[in-house]
Structure 1
Amino acid sequence: MTTILVTGGTGTLGRLVTERLRAGGHDVRVLSRHSEPYAVDLREGGDGLDTALAGVDTVVHCATTQRGGDERSAANLIAAARRAGVTHLVYISIVGVDRVPLGYYRTKLAVEKLVEESGLGWTVLRATQFHDLVVQVLGILARLPVVLLPAHARDQPVEVAEVADRLAELARGAPAGRVADMGGPEVRTFESLARAHLRATGRRRAVVNVPLAGKTYRAFRAGGHLTPGHAVGRRTFEEYLAERFGGGEGGRRG
């Protein structure tokens, strides 16, 4: 039986990865800052991290934060994994980290490089944005009487459970390097996603597209975060909304 450690194993993605690996008969340890018996802050490392990794064959690294520290966390994890004799490190990244000059994306790309140069067997999967995150952003934007959107922006949301399926599959296999990107089934205008969200939540708002400036906006507008050639996800945004909010799947897409 393979022993697998999932970092960020109580989070949106990590929790689902843990469930799938346990269902497959693996011994799975969950590492997060507040989850016993492996409550570890990866930014600090320490003996607790060494204890969590003792006897582990594979690590699935899902832990991340936009508040900073991901590179330090990855460096601590890699050093401890080497000491423990881990043979496979699986990392979840984001489509476009090498094309979109957003600070968080640059950090994810830097962690990818650490993983690749770790000396461990490694696998990196890049995925597009989860449905959950898109809804979170749209919910914030819809708090105002007018929903202001970046003009000409598109997205390709993917179901987090499908990404968890893929990560669990990769964790069960041999190190594969950088695998094919994983994108949602549709590339959509951000306006069409916003209108679908408004219908599903029963809100009436005007939607206004606002042109923006800057390198990051130009990269998003150019589709640097999209992977239309790898639209392997199955669940659409409307199907996700219908389950979450109880709405219908109708409505024009754009």
Structure 2
Amino acid sequence: MSSILVTGGTGTLGRPTVTRLRAADHQVRVLSRKPGPDRVVADLTSGEGLSAAVRGADVIVHLATSQGRRDIQQARNLLAAAPGAKHLVVMSIAGIDRIPMPYYRHKLEAERLVAVSGLPYTILRATQFHNLIDRVLSAQRFLPAVLAPTISLQPIAVEDVAVRLTELVAESPVNGRAPDIGGPERLPVAELARVWKEARGVHRPVVPLRLAGKAFRAFADGDAMVDGLAYGHLTFAEYLR
């Protein structure tokens, strides 16, 4: 049984991960800016309270993200506060080294900082989460149609990612990347949109959308998907149900 600190433990991925870790009999604390049961209060961006928060943690599971440039500073602060950590497990995104998007560049730099830190670590990259696809499609509720970029994706359930993170916590540090994981289906976004329409009772048409730019081409080339067998089990339709 390990003492584990989870950053981002109150988020979309954090909640099922914390549940899985506790079910595996680990002692889990959640780092948060707000107090609560089994939480330690600290701020990843400013670094305030971090040293005290990580004290006594054998393993740190870093799930927090600002979805922007602050990810880099948060990684720096966490690494500086945890020089004695026995294992740092870091969540990242499949394809960030191949898809030229600003957020992905920030995530890639955070990975690099972890790699050169000298701490024992494991980086896990996963494909886009089901809830992200759901959120992007739902955000179009005021449009006359559902716009679907002409690319394919391999979305994965956060519950499946939580299972893999729990496995990695119990294993020795890789000091590199664990194999990337993706969901059980590779589907065009137009098909994902049709599945979403049926589940959500939406009657607007799905309109394919071709975009310009290097990032779109990378997605169209399949750079956001992973090679090999799928790790995830829950399909997008099952998630929506």
TM-score by length of 1: 0.90
Instruction: Give yes or no for contact 1:142–1:205 (8 Å, CA) kept in 2.
Output: no
Residue 245 of structure 1 corresponds to which residue in structure 2? none
Aligned length: 238
> Is 2:172 the counterpart of 1:174?
yes
User: Relative to structure 2, which stretch is displaced further, 37-46 or 68-77?
Assistant: 37-46
Instruction: Give yes or no for contact 1:180–1:230 (8 Å, CA) kept in 2.
Output: no
User: Relative to structure 2, which stretch is displaced further, 34-43 or 15-24?
Assistant: 34-43
> Is 2:57 the counterpart of 1:59?
no
Instruction: Please report how far the alpha carbon of residue 143 of structure 1 lies from its aligned counterpart in structure 2 after TM superposition.
Output: 3.1
- Which runs of at least 4 in structure 1 moved beyond 3 Å after TM superposition? none
Residue 81 of structure 1 corresponds to which residue in structure 2? 82
Instruction: Please report how far the alpha carbon of residue 35 of structure 1 lies from its aligned counterpart in structure 2 after TM superposition.
Output: 3.6
Instruction: Give yes or no for contact 1:181–1:230 (8 Å, CA) kept in 2.
Output: no
Q: Which stretches in structure 2 are left out of the alignment for 5+ residues?
A: none
Aligned mates of 2:20, 2:67 — CA distance in 1: 26
Residue 49 of structure 1 corresponds to which residue in structure 2? 50
Instruction: Please report how far the alpha carbon of residue 134 of structure 1 lies from its aligned counterpart in structure 2 after TM superposition.
Output: 0.7
Instruction: Please report how far the alpha carbon of residue 231 of structure 1 lies from its aligned counterpart in structure 2 after TM superposition.
Output: 1.5
Residue 129 of structure 2 corresponds to which residue in structure 1? 130
Q: Which stretches in structure 1 are left out of the alignment for 5+ residues?
A: 243-254
Instruction: Please report how far the alpha carbon of residue 64 of structure 1 lies from its aligned counterpart in structure 2 after TM superposition.
Output: 0.2
Instruction: Please report how far the alpha carbon of residue 109 of structure 1 lies from its aligned counterpart in structure 2 after TM superposition.
Output: 0.9
Q: Once the two structures are aligned, what percentage of the paired residues are identical?
A: 51
Residue 239 of structure 2 corresponds to which residue in structure 1? 240
* 2:88 maps to amino acid: L
The residue matched to 2:173 in structure 1 has which SS?
coil
The residue matched to 1:145 in structure 2 has which SS?
coil
Q: 1:206-253 CA distances to partner (integer Å, 9 max, x unpaired)?
A: 1111221111111111111011424221111111112xxxxxxxxxxx
Q: 1:153-193 CA distances to partner (integer Å, 9 max, x unpaired)?
A: 11101111010011011112210121111000010000000
Residue 16 of structure 2 corresponds to which residue in structure 1? 16
Instruction: Please report how far the alpha carbon of residue 67 of structure 1 lies from its aligned counterpart in structure 2 after TM superposition.
Output: 4.1
* 1:96 maps to amino acid: G
Is the helix fraction higher in 1 or 2?
Answer: 1
The residue matched to 2:42 in structure 1 has which SS?
coil
Aligned mates of 2:148, 2:238 — CA distance in 1: 22
Judged with a 3 Å threshold, the aligned counterparts in structure 2 of structure 1 residues 130 and 203 are, in CA distance, closer, same or farther, namely: same
TM-score by length of 2: 0.95
